[in-house]
Structure 1
Amino acid sequence: MTTLVWAGGLLRAEDDPIVAAGDHGWTVGDGVFETLEVKGGRAFALRRHLKRLAYSAARMGMAEIDEDAVREAVGEVLAAGTGLRRLRITVSSGTGPAPLKRGGGPHTIVVTASDSAPPTSCHAVRVPWRRNERSAIAGVKTTSYAENVVIMEFARSRGADEAILANTHGHLCEGATSNILIERGGEILTPPLASGCLPGITRGLALEWGAEEGIPIRAAAPGELEMSVLDEVVAGDAFAAVTSSTRRIQPLASLDRTTLEHGPLLARLSAVFEARAGLDADPGPRQPKQPL
């Protein structure tokens, strides 16, 4: 696998030291990040990802991120490689004088890209842990990712590559690295942001593009999707798919080691997404008319 690295204003070797020992991104996970799909040498939905990066930084109480610097770094990385498929932007609050006290210095910005292939299927399991929808970082794409590492190790130990979580109320929330869509009763539902899920870029585009193409799709009302809806999926009475920047819209191939069928509405939504993404590699941010 080829990996390109940009840090400190320069393209660097993959094994170059690039982070100071006291950097808060390293010591306490005080940072934010975005993962983007790269196709044809372009980062898909870059404007939306940068908007969410800024939102995450604001929620973390970090200083405003220099978007121009990030764009320049992304451009240099993409220009330096061929066959790239995945890009990550990581921004920490920089070096701090103490573990829980930020300094006044600049952010640490690191951009990496690789040619690693995206996952071609999704095998998921339910896990015993829950997302805290009242957490200070609920819905924030932060580098404080140890919880997800533990969850994903649990999933892998059971032959899966994704984990599905409830929130503290027992409502369906999200995957460890994805959002989730449920097809039942002739419509597609996704947990609302109030559930504590991440405001996924692919999730948002699926809601917008699907509705524009006449597909019955919406964010569920708070509490409408109980975790027990996954029992319906296992029984074949409903269908499920996950969404993320690398998976796009990907049906669940299995849940808790039970092979699943693909939902017809979800298949139609996936086709719409692929067609629309092929026409516009950088769809602009949307101003929601209602909570999503």
Structure 2
Amino acid sequence: MSVVVWSAGRLVDPAAPLLTPVDHGVTVGDGVFETCAVRHGQVFALTRHLRRLALSAAGLGLPVPDEAEVRAGAAAVLAAAPDAGRLRITVTAGPSPLGPARAPDDEIAPTLLVAAAPAGHGGATTARAVTVPWVRNERSSIAGLKTTSYAEQVAILRHARAEGADEALVANTVGDLCEGAASNVFVARGGEVLTPPLSSGCLAGVTRDLVLEWSADAGLPVRAAAPGELRYDAVVHEVLTGTAALALSGSVRGLTPVVELDGTPVEPGDAFEAVRALYVRRSAEDLDP
């Protein structure tokens, strides 16, 4: 299937020119977005994604998108693409002057786009990762916001793919493990499964949150680490020497074990088996948890 796009209350040709050249999302990446998994023609965890979209918009000082309008757009594209595997919701700041200064608040006219597409890598059951020299700034003004300013992630993923991998492990400025370029990270070691805390600068991923919540309900030893508990270099060394294992999480990929790091095969074993099984079961039971 091809991409199906909705804008301004109607389905539109994906090749149609929908954004003005002075849209701030085009000129400076001033916008927010969500990527959601689609299962059996329904958006998984849409309420949670809309909640995070609103938080990201508020964090950038953009008007919070109208939830009913977004849901209408989602329904329209999925009706036209029932076999879609992912849904993308994008909100930009709309027309603004050239440069970083946005239009005055009372003149902002945001652009809302909703698109459905195939799942892409979402069918992969394992992942290959590389380490990179670049870091995430946990003190950035957009730390924790899911913005369309994604050039950094594009560059990191391009490097990862040139190295034969599909993701990268990114540290923050103080040397703690933060996240993947486009995923959250889980580390299994010492009988526990840990994920970097939000203070590391990582995104509050929907899948990450559900894994933590559902694991707590089930009594599984899964938790957010304390600051400094997951040092980047230490985690990499432990994974390469077989004393720890990695998994990546994301809305479309779910929870995916890493089987190769920096070109070296690594063995996740059954470290994530119980957590993955729980996630698969709970997500099948409730499409909007």
Q: TM-score range by the shorter chain?
A: over 0.9
Residues 210-238 of structure 1 deviation map (CA, whole Å, 9 limit, x = unaligned): 11111101100011100021210111111
- Give aligned-pair identity as a percent: 51
Alignment-derived partner of residue 113 in structure 1: 116
Question: How far apart in 1 are the matches of 2:26 and 2:96?
Answer: 11
* 1:226-265 alignment, distance < 5 Å: 226-227=231-232, 228-265=234-271
Q: Counterpart of 1:264 in 2: which secondary structure?
A: coil
Structure 1 position 90 matched with structure 2 position 90: yes
Moved more, 201-210 or 76-85: 76-85
Question: How far apart in 1 are the matches of 2:196 and 2:251?
Answer: 18
Q: Which amino acid aligns with 1:183?
A: A
1:90 Cα offset (Å):
0.4
Alignment-derived partner of residue 220 in structure 1: 225
Question: How far apart in 1 are the matches of 2:100 and 2:176?
Answer: 33
Q: Which amino acid aligns with 1:206?
A: V
2:206 to 194, 201, 207: 201
1:66 Cα offset (Å):
1.4
1:182 to 182, 187, 199: 187
Question: How far apart in 2 are the matches of 1:269 and 1:173?
Answer: 20
Moved more, 115-124 or 67-76: 115-124
Alignment-derived partner of residue 131 in structure 1: 136
Verify the 8 A CA contact 1:183 1:263 in the aligned structure 2.
no
Unaligned runs of 5+ in 2: none
Alignment-derived partner of residue 196 in structure 2: 191
Q: Which amino acid aligns with 1:12?
A: V
RMSD: 1.1
Structure 1 position 267 matched with structure 2 position 273: yes
Verify the 8 A CA contact 2:128 2:166 in the aligned structure 1.
yes
1:119 Cα offset (Å):
4.5
Alignment-derived partner of residue 287 in structure 1: none
Q: Counterpart of 2:158 in 1: which secondary structure?
A: helix
Question: How far apart in 2 are the matches of 1:203 and 1:18?
Answer: 33
Alignment-derived partner of residue 33 in structure 1: 33
1:267 Cα offset (Å):
1.2
Residues 252-274 of structure 1 deviation map (CA, whole Å, 9 limit, x = unaligned): 02111111212424111000000
Verify the 8 A CA contact 1:173 1:196 in the aligned structure 2.
yes
Question: How far apart in 1 are the matches of 2:123 and 2:79?
Answer: 24
1:175 Cα offset (Å):
0.2
Alignment-derived partner of residue 149 in structure 1: 154
How many residue pairs match? The answer is 283
Question: How far apart in 2 are the matches of 1:9 and 1:222?
Answer: 45
Q: Which amino acid aligns with 1:89?
A: I
Verify the 8 A CA contact 2:119 2:252 in the aligned structure 1.
no
Alignment-derived partner of residue 279 in structure 1: 285
Q: Counterpart of 1:83 in 2: which secondary structure?
A: coil
Question: How far apart in 1 are the matches of 2:207 and 2:119?
Answer: 19
